[in-house]
């Protein structure tokens, strides 16, 4: 299985528009170019793609796709191999369990790594720019979808306020949890799916090596190949080294207080260091020492939002992908992986379409939905479940969870923190989304009714 052009006859004929140059949009554009599509256009709201952000986990199922797309080598150069995880009580720092996973690469053919989001996004972007098939339209925001078939027609608005209509053969929406495309697609289907607050927010902080150098306990963490999670009631931190071990990445989950007290459409903001310290003032001295190192003004906080499962991801020749159709809580560390997998599968199914007719494109996009919807729903639900287990307060449920943590020290045992559980890892990491699409496309395509669901009569 590789990134070679697909078997269908339409690979060089379709004009494909992608909304959004995040992880999913970039991954999709690159996958399409690798499959031989020659007319791929990416529309992005931002006027420039200066990638920022914090750490990200690069699981084997994601690495497999990046490797096939030819961009993993550069990303891997700055990544850290993860071979163990320690799950600890946030207040006492007592270790609840320790999971060794030195054979991840041997089991799944690719490593589990941690890296910087800028490295992943930048690697995808540079690979896209090297493809003559991909054209970026920066500073262009999707305003509306004016037609879904036979060819999608949509309106984009520039930063200067001018608008224009664009026609494509396929429109793929990777415009995130606040997706404009999703709103228009649901309206066309007569459905309403509102974004929902989870009641949770998250801090992201990054500690540079030089700030940690005087503390041997911190340096042991930075120089390790370990992910560490400190858990407490309704809160936790998950931390790991990134950027060639020059940065210790720390991401939290806690009750949403700041956003809830000042409701707005903003999902991210500069957080208050004082508020962060107060939120975790009962956590162990090691956590508090690390948080003390964070400079004022360097705390990023974002609110976690999701929406209920959508009735459909596809209408006509338009499809949703990534957070636009399956936003998730971060407890499995699979959000970016799922988005990039979506993009790879979309490229796979479109490259196998037997013709370029609107009906055929619709059926091919519906095959993508069939391949991806059940799996992503499973992972979204599993992430939510894992969060509930991690954030238990005092009581019998927490006591039972901690007994399960203690028992999970035995090799191969199930772990309450599902990200670290070998059975869940096997289900997630062994999945080859591109191979599955290649093997199942013809069968699923032929099973679909001739009249496309969701098409206008």
Task: Give pLDDT tens digits for 346-405.
Answer: 999 999 999 999 999 999 999 999 999 999 999 999 999 999 999 999 999 999 999 999
Lookup: tokens for 362: 């619709």
Q: What is the pLDDT of residues 283-301, one digit of tens each?
A: 999 999 999 999 988 898 9
When pLDDT is cut at 50, 70 and 90, the band that residue 173 belongs to is very high
Convert the pLDDT of each residue in 319-338 to its tens digit.
999 999 999 999 999 999 99
Q: Is residue 254 part of a domain?
A: yes
Q: Are residues 343 and 229 in the same domain?
A: no
Question: Looking at 267, 285, 306, which one is the last position of a domain?
Answer: 306
What is the distance between the alpha carbons of residues 262 and 251, in angstroms, rounded to a whole number?
22
The yes-or-no verdict on residue 195 having pLDDT over 90 is no
103 lies in some domain: no
Are 302 and 371 part of one and the same domain?
no
Has residue 140 been placed in a domain? yes
For helices 335-351 and 433-447, the axis angle rounded to 10 degrees is: 50
- Reply yes or no on whether the pLDDT at 224 is more than 60: yes
The residue ranges of DSSP E strands in 188-298, in sequence order, are: 195-208, 226-232, 235-242, 247-255, 268-270
User: What is the per-residue pLDDT across 391-446, written as a single tens digit (0 to 9) for each?
Assistant: 999 999 999 999 999 999 998 899 999 999 999 999 999 999 999 999 999 999 99
The answer to whether residues 251 and 350 belong to one domain is: no
Lowest average pLDDT, out of 119-133, 195-209, 254-268, goes to: 254-268
Question: How many separate domains does the chain show?
Answer: 2
Element (H, E) at 157: strand 153-158
> Which pLDDT score is estimated for 457?
34
Query: Which residues are registered as beta bridge partners of 173?
Result: 19, 320
Mapped onto helix, strand or coil, the DSSP state of residue 347 is helix
* Residue 222: CATH number of its domain: 3.30.9.30
What mean pLDDT, rounded, does the chain reach?
A: 93
CATH number at residue 378: 3.50.50.60
CA atoms of 75 and 161, how far apart (whole Å):
36
Give the pLDDT band of residue 454 (cuts 50, 70, 90).
Answer: very low
Q: Residue 267: what pLDDT?
A: 64
**Is 80 exceeded by the pLDDT of residue 3?**
no
Answer with the residue of higher pLDDT: 277 or 195.
Answer: 277
- What pTM did the predictor assign? 0.94
Q: Report d(CA 454, CA 456) in Å as an integer.
A: 7
How far apart are the C-alpha atoms of 218 and 385, rounded to whole Å?
A: 30
Residue 188 CA neighbour count, 13 Å, CB half? 24
Q: Are residues 184 and 166 in the same domain?
A: yes
Q: Would residue 168 count as lying in a domain?
A: yes
42 contacts 172 by C-beta, under 8 angstroms: no
Q: Is residue 129 part of a domain?
A: yes
Which residue range(s) make up the domain with 119?
16-82+113-194+308-393+418-447
> Are 187 and 226 in a shared domain?
no
Mean pLDDT score, 144-157: 98
User: 43 and 127, same structural domain?
Assistant: yes
Contact 6, 36 (CB under 8 A): yes
Q: Are residues 206 and 285 in the same domain?
A: yes
Alpha helix positions (H), 35-153 = 60-68, 72-76, 104-108, 117-129
- End position of a domain, from candidates 285, 306, 327: 306
CA atoms of 423 and 426, how far apart (whole Å) = 5
**213 lies in the same domain as 230:** yes
What is the chain's Cα-based Rg? 22
- Which pLDDT tens digit goes with each residue over 234-287? 999 999 999 999 999 999 999 998 765 454 555 677 889 999 999 999 999 999
What pLDDT does 219 receive? 99
Same domain, 74 and 165: yes
Which contacts of 219-223 are long-range, i.e. CB under 8 A and separated by 24 or more positions? 221/248, 222/248
Average pLDDT over residues 135-163: 97
Coil, strand or helix at 96: strand
Query: What pLDDT, on the 0 to 100 scale, is given for residue 239?
Result: 98
CA–CA dist 137, 258 (Å, integer): 35
Regarding predicted confidence, which is higher, 166 or 259?
166
């Amino acid at each position: 299985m590789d990134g070679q052009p697909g078997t269908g006859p339409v690979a060089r004929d379709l004009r494909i528009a992608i909304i959004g140059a995040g992880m999913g949009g970039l991954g999709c554009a690159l996958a399409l170019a690798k499959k031989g599509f020659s007319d791929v256009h990416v529309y992005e709201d931002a006027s420039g793609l200066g990638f920022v952000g914090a750490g990200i986990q690069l699981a084997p199922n994601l690495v497999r796709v990046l490797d096939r797309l030819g961009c993993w080598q550069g990303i891997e150069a700055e990544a850290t191999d993860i071979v163990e995880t320690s799950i600890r009580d946030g207040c006492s720092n007592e270790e609840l369990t320790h999971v060794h996973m030195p054979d991840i690469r041997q089991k799944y053919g690719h490593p589990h790594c941690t890296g910087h989001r800028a490295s992943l996004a930048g690697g995808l972007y540079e690979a896209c720019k090297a493809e003559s098939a991909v054209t970026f339209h920066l500073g262009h925001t999707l305003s509306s979808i004016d037609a879904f078939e036979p060819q999608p027609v949509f309106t984009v608005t520039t930063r200067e306020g001018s608008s224009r209509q664009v026609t494509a053969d396929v429109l793929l929406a990777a415009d995130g949890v606040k997706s404009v495309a999703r709103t228009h697609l649901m309206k066309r289907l007569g459905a309403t799916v509102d974004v929902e607050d989870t009641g949770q927010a998250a801090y992201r902080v990054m500690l540079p090596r030089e700030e940690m150098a005087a503390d041997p306990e911190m340096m042991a963490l930075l120089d390790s190949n370990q992910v560490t999670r400190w858990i407490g009631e309704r809160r936790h931190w998950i931390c790991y080294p990134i950027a060639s071990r020059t940065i210790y990445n720390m991401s939290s989950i806690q009750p949403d207080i700041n956003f809830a007290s000042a409701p707005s459409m903003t999902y991210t903001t500069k957080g208050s260091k004082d508020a962060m310290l107060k939120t975790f003032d009962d956590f162990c001295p090691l956590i508090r020492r690390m948080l003390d190192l964070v400079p004022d003004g360097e705390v990023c906080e974002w609110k976690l939002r999701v929406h209920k499962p959508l009735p459909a991801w596809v209408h006509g020749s338009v499809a949703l992908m990534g957070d636009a159709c399956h936003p998730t809580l971060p407890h499995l560390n699979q959000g970016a992986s799922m988005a990039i997998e979506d993009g790879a599968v979309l490229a796979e199914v479109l490259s196998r379409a037997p013709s370029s007719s609107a009906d055929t494109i619709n059926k091919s996009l519906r095959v993508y939905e069939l391949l991806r919807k059940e799996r992503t729903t499973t992972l979204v639900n599993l992430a939510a479940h894992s969060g509930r287990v991690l954030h238990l307060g005092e009581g019998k449920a927490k006591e039972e969870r901690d007994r399960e943590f203690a028992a999970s020290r035995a090799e191969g045992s199930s772990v309450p923190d599902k990200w670290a559980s070998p059975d869940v890892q096997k289900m997630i990491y062994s999945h080859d989304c591109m191979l599955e699409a290649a093997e199942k496309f013809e069968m699923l395509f032929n099973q679909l009714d001739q009249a496309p669901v969701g098409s206008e009569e």
